[in-house]
């Protein structure tokens, strides 16, 4: 097992038996299932809409090299500036250099899973750059100095009492504030930042090749507030967000909001950014960070059609047992597990086993992605290539050779019972499970006895 795998296992053991954590995650799961059961009623034929959405995204990936050039050309023609980043380090330094060149002093940032992926906030803090997170959930998480546990609902693992306690520490408020009062404190802190901001960093839901448009959706209005009066707007976006035409958002945006906890199943605000605002500079930082590697993998590249609705990890029994922090991944859960293989087999090995193959994720995926099959594909590749699994391979091969013949297996069943089952798999089987034992007589022995009587 890799070092990351060992740490992952230790963290899983610690959190999986935390009764309070399990209670919260179970409540979240039950609330989601109650809300999600009627989502299909908003469509006359949701299966057809899912197929349309998948085809749109898949088409973009087939021609993404051409579409990316088209997008860059159109952004420049619209008055924007495009920067290309190969990896996380280049993206972070690119944004840092833009902030320096523009002499940015008061910077606000809105929710961005990509920013979490590349570690932008810790990097800027290390560089002594003052940045304020404006998404309420992320803002709460940063008070704890931790990454959001759920990419779609950042502070869902925190209770009202947790937030009141941390606000008391940070802002000197009472630790008995109600949820409404906590939101009032949050708005006051952030409104002061909005009014003083000279630079805004945002993400994007989609980017449009045909027009150079940037599509942004939100619930709180913090993106609109952040970019309203700033002189610089930096859009941090992955190359996988590319779609061919503006008309495609008619299909994609409603599906990406399918599991919004509102009666209309939509975000509160949608922005189509076509060109910089008056007296404002628009920078678009296009990030690869192993996305092109993922595009080259068959069939795993299909996971890049994901529109980050959050349905898969919210129904995942593993995620609902261990939570999002244990994954140490910007997008925890089934999707992040598959994407991680682009970082190498050693990085992905420990995550590939965190799946029960229940296929609930596929049932709720609005893109019809066969998520369990892709996780299985990762497991196969890792088993073939990961040097850290060499010892386990030898054990399996040793066992398989001897059990290939039923007579030999019957002769050695006591040996198997004592050695393989009790020693070789004891550590991986888990201390909380009973090691299975072989029956006194095998099926073949029982069958022989029955047929001779």
pTM: 0.88
**Hey, which residues does 44 pair with through a beta bridge?**
none
pLDDT digit string, tens, across residues 198-242 = 999 999 999 999 999 999 999 888 999 999 989 999 999 999 999
What is the CATH topology of the domain spanning 3-36+293-385?
Fumarate Reductase Iron-sulfur Protein; Chain B, domain 2 (1.10.1060)
38 in Cβ contact with 173 (< 8 Å): no
pLDDT at 370 over 80: yes
Give domain limits for the chain.
Answer: 3-36+293-385, 39-289, 390-452
pLDDT given at position 51: 94
385 compared with 321, residue with greater pLDDT: 321
> How confident is residue 329, by pLDDT bands cut at 50, 70 and 90?
confident
pLDDT given at position 393: 67
Which range among 244-258, 318-332, 389-403 shows the weakest confidence by mean pLDDT? 389-403
pLDDT given at position 43: 87
Per-residue DSSP letter, 237:
E
pLDDT given at position 293: 94
pLDDT given at position 260: 82
pLDDT given at position 431: 65
Per-residue DSSP letter, 83:
E
Mean of the pLDDT values across residues 111-118?
Answer: 95
Mean of the pLDDT values across residues 371-381?
Answer: 94
Mean of the pLDDT values across residues 328-332?
Answer: 87
CA atoms within 13 A on the CB side of 318: 23
| Rounded Cα distance, 315 and 319, in Å | 8
- Long-range Cβ pairs for the range 88-92 (8 Å, 24+): 88/117, 88/118, 88/119, 88/287, 88/289, 91/118, 91/120, 91/236, 91/285, 91/287, 91/289, 92/118, 92/119, 92/120, 92/123, 92/124
Question: What is the residue-averaged pLDDT of the chain?
Answer: 89
| Rounded Cα distance, 71 and 366, in Å | 26
> How confident is residue 41, by pLDDT bands cut at 50, 70 and 90?
confident
331 in Cβ contact with 117 (< 8 Å): yes
Mean of the pLDDT values across residues 42-53?
Answer: 92
> What are the φ/ψ torsions at residue 373 (nearest 5 degrees)?
-65, -40
288 in Cβ contact with 278 (< 8 Å): no
pLDDT given at position 400: 73
pLDDT at 5 over 90: no
Range list of β-strands (E), 177-255: 199-202, 206-208, 214-218, 232-238, 242-243
pLDDT digit string, tens, across residues 396-433 = 677 677 667 767 666 665 655 556 666 666 666 666 67
pLDDT at 319 over 90: yes
Mean of the pLDDT values across residues 132-144?
Answer: 94
> How confident is residue 83, by pLDDT bands cut at 50, 70 and 90?
very high
pLDDT at 353 over 70: yes
pLDDT digit string, tens, across residues 256-290 = 988 887 666 678 889 999 999 899 999 999 999 99
**Hey, which residues does 81 pair with through a beta bridge?**
283
pLDDT digit string, tens, across residues 159-200 = 999 999 999 999 999 999 999 999 999 999 999 899 899 999
| Rounded Cα distance, 276 and 269, in Å | 19
| Rounded Cα distance, 194 and 199, in Å | 10
Q: Which CATH architecture has domain 39-289?
A: 3-Layer(aba) Sandwich (3.40)
């Amino acid at each position: 097992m890799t070092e990351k795998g060992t740490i992952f296992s230790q963290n899983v053991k610690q959190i999986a038996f935390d009764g309070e954590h399990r209670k919260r995650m179970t409540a979240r799961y039950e609330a989601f299932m109650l809300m999600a059961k009627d989502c299909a009623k908003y469509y006359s034929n949701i299966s057809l809409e899912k197929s349309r959405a998948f085809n749109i995204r898949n088409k973009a990936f087939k021609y993404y090299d051409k579409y990316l050039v088209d997008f860059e050309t159109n952004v420049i023609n619209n008055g924007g500036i495009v920067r290309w980043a190969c990896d996380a380090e280049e993206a972070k330094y690119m944004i840092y250099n833009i902030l320096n060149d523009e002499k940015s002093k008061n910077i606000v940032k809105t929710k961005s899973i990509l920013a979490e992926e590349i570690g932008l906030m810790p990097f800027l803090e290390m560089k002594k750059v003052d940045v304020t997170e404006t998404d309420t959930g992320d803002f709460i998480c940063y008070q704890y100095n931790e990454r959001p546990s759920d990419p779609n609902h950042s502070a869902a693992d925190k209770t009202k009492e947790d937030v009141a306690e941390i606000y008391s520490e940070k802002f000197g408020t009472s630790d008995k504030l109600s949820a409404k009062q906590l939101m009032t404190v949050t708005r006051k802190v952030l409104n002061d930042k909005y009014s003083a901001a000279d630079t805004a960093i945002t993400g994007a839901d989609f980017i449009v090749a045909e027009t150079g448009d940037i599509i942004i959706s939100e619930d709180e209005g913090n993106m609109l507030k952040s970019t309203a009066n700033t002189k610089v707007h930096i859009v941090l976006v992955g190359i996988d967000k590319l779609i061919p035409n503006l008309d495609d958002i008619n299909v994609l945006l409603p599906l990406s909001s399918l599991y919004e906890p509102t009666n209309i199943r939509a975000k509160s605000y949608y922005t189509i950014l076509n060109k910089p605002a008056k007296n404002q500079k628009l920078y678009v930082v296009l990030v690869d960070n192993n996305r092109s590697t993922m595009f080259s993998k068959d069939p795993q590249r299909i996971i890049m059609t994901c529109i980050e609705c959050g349905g898969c990890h919210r129904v995942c029994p593993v995620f609902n047992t261990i939570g999002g922090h244990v994954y140490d991944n910007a997008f925890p859960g089934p999707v992040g597990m598959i994407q991680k293989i682009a970082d190498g087999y050693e990085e992905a090995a420990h995550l590939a086993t965190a799946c029960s193959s229940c296929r609930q994720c596929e049932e709720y995926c609005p893109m019809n992605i066969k998520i369990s099959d892709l996780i299985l594909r990762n497991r196969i590749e890792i088993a073939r290539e990961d040097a850290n699994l060499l010892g386990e391979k030898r054990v399996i091969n040793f066992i398989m050779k001897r059990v290939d013949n039923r007579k030999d297996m019957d002769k050695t069943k006591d040996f198997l019972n004592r050695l393989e089952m009790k020693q070789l798999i004891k550590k991986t089987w888990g201390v909380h499970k009973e090691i299975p034992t072989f029956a006194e007589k095998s099926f073949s022995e029982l069958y022989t006895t029955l047929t001779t009587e």
